[in-house]
Amino acid sequence: MRKTLMIIGLVLGIVALGLAFYLYLVPKFKAENRQIDSWISANHLNKYGDPQNTAYSNGQPCKTTRDCYDYIKKMHPDKPWEK
> Which residue numbers in the chain have pLDDT < 50?
none
pLDDT at 81: 95
> Nearest-CA neighbor of 62 among 31, 36, 83, 82?
36
Structural domain of 62: 2-82
Q: Which pTM does this prediction carry?
A: 0.65
pLDDT at 21: 65
The domain total for the chain is: 1
First to last CA, the chain: 60
pLDDT at 1: 81
